[in-house]
């Protein structure tokens, strides 16, 4: 069982918006503004999509946005495109001992 | 081009050892902390270990403490993970990942393609 809880799957049609959640605890997501999201296509290197909860790295589409409320972080993808179909993992800093915790991943299907 | 390339994975018997390597290019390797992250078959990502930019500070997942050792050679721009006393539950794809900030924990902005470790008799 992963440290952060993500829904196993979400789906949406092209052009629609979807939101996926990432629930942690007051020791990780709730304590630090260091939630990041990664897109993982099978057989490829994971790609950073969101860092510090809501910031986008250079080159990442503004269709991707992140937010946090309490112990839960969220990733929203607007204007869904076929190439968005992938697994998405959330991650949070968890302090000097545990360091980093990840979610189990959410499989996004673009219908 | 900023790149990380892992190597050293393979099939090993329980109790055996492997050393993974991660060759970096395209950035100032010595300025950034680095980590190893793994993904077991059908499971999510799991952070394994991290090392500071100078190599003097290391961190480990509790289940690998005392068995795995992370190290780096900044002159060779290479990160290592020495894995001893391997168990079936260590079977996974192992990724090396670069910290996005040189000034503290932030996120992992560059990942390698991964190397597969299989622990089985």
Q: Percent of chain B scored above 90 by pLDDT?
A: 92
Nearest to B50 by CA among B64, B66, B71: B71
Q: A1, A24, A44, A45: best mutation site toward chain B, by most B Cβ within 10 Å?
A: A45
For residue B38, what is the nearest residue in chain A, using CA coordinates? Answer: A102
Is A34's CB within 8 Å of B105's CB?
yes
pLDDT at B28 over 90: yes
| Beta-strand pair A86-94/A106-110 | antiparallel
Ramachandran region of residue A43, left (φ > 0), alpha (ψ -120 to 50) or beta?
left
For A24-82, write each residue's pLDDT tens digit: 999 999 999 999 999 999 888 999 999 999 999 999 999 999 999 999 999 999 999 99
For A8-38, write each residue's pLDDT tens digit: 999 999 999 999 999 999 999 999 999 999 9
For B37-52, write each residue's pLDDT tens digit: 999 998 999 999 999 9
Q: In this structure, what are the phi and psi dihedrals at residue A96, rounded to the nearest 5 degrees?
A: -65, -30
> What DSSP letter does each residue of B95-113 carry, written as one string?
EEEEES-TTS---EEEE--
- pLDDT band at B104; cut points 50, 70, 90: confident
Q: B64, B107, B116: best mutation site toward chain A, by most A Cβ within 10 Å?
A: B107
pLDDT at B70: 98
Q: Cβ-count burial of A5 within 10 angstroms (0-12 exposed, 13-18 middle, 19+ buried)?
A: middle
Q: Touching check for B50 and chain A: CB below 8 Å?
A: yes
The token duo for B91 is: 């079977």
Chain A, window 19-38: residues with a beta carbon less than 8 angstroms from a chain B beta carbon: 34, 36, 38
Contacts with A57 from chain B: Cβ below 8 Å: 100, 109
CA distance B99 to B51: 10
Is A57's CB within 8 Å of B109's CB?
yes
Nearest to A83 by CA among A39, A51, A53: A39
């Amino acid at each position: 069982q992963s440290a952060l809880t993500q829904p196993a799957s979400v789906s949406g049609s092209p052009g629609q918006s979807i939101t996926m959640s990432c629930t942690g605890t007051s020791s990780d997501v709730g304590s630090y503004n260091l939630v990041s999201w990664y897109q993982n296509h099978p057989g490829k290197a994971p790609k950073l999509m969101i860092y510090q909860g809501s910031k986008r790295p250079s080159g990442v589409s503004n269709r991707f946005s992140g937010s946090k409320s309490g112990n839960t972080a969220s990733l929203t993808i607007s204007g869904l495109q076929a190439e968005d179909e992938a697994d998405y993992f959330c991650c949070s800093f968890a302090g000097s001992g545990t360091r980093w915790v990840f979610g189990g991943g959410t499989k996004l299907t673009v219908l | 081009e900023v790149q990380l390339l892992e190597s050293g994975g393979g099939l090993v018997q329980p109790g055996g050892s492997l050393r993974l390597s991660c060759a970096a290019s395209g950035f100032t390797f010595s300025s950034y902390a680095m980590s190893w992250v793994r993904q077991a078959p059908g499971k999510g990502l799991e952070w394994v270990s991290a090392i500071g930019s100078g190599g003097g500070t290391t961190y480990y997942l509790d289940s690998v403490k005392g068995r795995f050792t992370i190290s780096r050679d900044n002159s060779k721009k290479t990160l290592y993970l020495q894995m001893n006393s391997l168990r079936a539950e260590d079977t996974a794809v192992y990724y090396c990942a670069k910290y996005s900030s040189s000034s503290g924990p932030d996120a992992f902005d560059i990942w390698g393609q991964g190397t597969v470790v299989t622990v089985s008799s």
